[in-house]
A and B are shown apart, each in its own frame.
Chain A
């Protein structure tokens, strides 16, 4: 790979997307993208006895579907890279243990899918292996339990709050044989503009997204119009507006091509999700259900997928710390 600018690389032999799979919960299945998901699971426990195992099961299902599409199994993988929102990334390690594959766990909060993809793509381009799996997932109930309040606790959410997606996505990258390829990537830097409100992730993450997009465009020498679509992970409607305004101040106008996975996955009018969806599973499942198929079918030629993460913990929130945020951009092109 070739370094274009600090943080940005172009892949010399762009790793290809061999297959992908996603599994989501009932609410996501009832959303506007419902028909596009590989698997919709109506049981929020996914047949397990607790939320943490259920979350793991969603990622497990996404991985199985992904590997099934490529007609390979875990023993054919050179590496699995993945993460989730739970402490110590237990949902991913439990899901991956059945594969018996070498594994790297990553944590980037809701940016995890982009982080997994960049790591996987760089390792393939660097000669680490032939087939590397990238995955991420989240579960509404386990996220509520870990980051907010017990599920049955009666409370009201502010309009800026977002709804954690129950779902997971997995993408298999390889050297050849796909219909889409990862051509470039930008690893973001932490941006913290002093937002402390854990119920306003969009506001906290928008500057990180704007920073990474500006850096990526400069790094690869592209303009927003060169892309069929630029996706943010889960800024939600408020974060989308803020990000576009921040970029406009930098004389970059992405409004014509900007979409947000969190804004798309739910119907905000009827599904009571306030500013939109969030969670690693949001960007991961929309990538697998919508973005990659649009590239593979040739309807889109070039897309920038930029998942964003709010790197807070329940402890730092209680301590009143501001929220460090990050965004990683992955450029994907049709073959």
Chain B
């Protein structure tokens, strides 16, 4: 049997992830997180923050909440249900930084927490920064 034939056999025996159910759960969970964000934004606006500050406070609140739930061991359970619903919003970013920080505490605060904190989120920061530089150059050259 060739590798290609075997690969087809494996595919025939393997159930795929339930794509539509996963999408629906992600949509619901992700949507709820956004509703929570909007609720918080209205609250901060009501408390007197301007639009920019309210937006920042929403981000800060969601990052904090996700970090807290990660530390309490709850986030992972929600994410198991929600999938991309918790991964895509800023909550996923928070979880991806806090979870390695917790995991590698046993290797020390410098060589463990400090060094490993961004093993999951690192690429987002690297390529996010790179993409914004490119966007900035395009803006400077063509749209200014």
Contacts and interface: CB of A to CB of B under 8 A. Distances in A.
Interface of A: 49-52, 145, 149-156, 158-160, 193-195, 200, 203, 207, 238, 241-242, 245-246, 249
Interface of B: 1, 3-4, 6-7, 9-10, 13-17, 22, 70-71, 73, 75-76, 78-80, 82-83, 86-87, 92, 95-96, 98-100, 102-104, 106, 120
Nearest to B100: A150
A277 to B, nearest CB: 18
12 contacts: A145-B103, A151-B99, A152-B70, A152-B73, A152-B99, A156-B17, A156-B22, A160-B15, A193-B1, A195-B6, A195-B10, A203-B10
A235 B13 CA distance: 13
A237 to B, nearest CB: 9
A242 B14 CA distance: 10
Nearest to B77: A154
Contact of A156 (B3, B70, B83, B98): B83
Given A49-B106, A149-B99, 10 more contacts: A150-B104, A151-B76, A151-B99, A152-B103, A154-B70, A155-B79, A160-B14, A160-B15, A195-B10, A238-B13
> Which one of A153, A245, A246 has the greatest number of beta carbons of chain B within 10 Å?
A153
B10 A200 contact: yes
A153 B7 contact: no
Contacts of B13: 203, 238, 241-242, 245
Chain B at the A interface: SS class: helix
B95 A153 contact: yes
Given A50-B106, A194-B3, A200-B14, A152 B9 contact: no
Contacts, number: 91
> Which one of A49, A156, A158 has the greatest number of beta carbons of chain B within 10 Å?
A156
B76 A153 contact: yes
Chain A at the B interface: SS class: loop
A153 B17 CA distance: 19
Contacts of B3: 193-194
A123 to B, nearest CB: 36
B99 A153 contact: yes
Contact of A249 (B1, B7, B102): B1
Contacts of B15: 159-160, 238
A207 B1 CA distance: 10
B65 to A, nearest CB: 13
Given A151-B76, A153-B96, A154-B87, A242 B103 contact: no
A149 B22 CA distance: 20
Q: Enumerate the 6 nearest inter-chain pairs by beta-carbon distance, A residue then B residue, closest first.
A: A154-B79, A194-B3, A150-B103, A50-B106, A150-B99, A152-B99
Given A145-B103, A195-B7, A152 B14 contact: no
A153 B83 contact: no
Contacts of A249: 1
Contacts of B106: 49-52
Given A159-B17, A195-B7, A154 B80 contact: yes
Contacts of A159: 14-17
B17 A154 contact: no
B20 to A, nearest CB: 14
Contacts of B102: 150-152
Contacts of B120: 149-150, 153
B75 A152 contact: yes
B6 A207 contact: yes
A162 to B, nearest CB: 13
B14 A154 contact: no
A152 B13 CA distance: 30
B75 A154 contact: yes
A152 B83 contact: no
Contacts of A51: 106
A245 B13 CA distance: 10
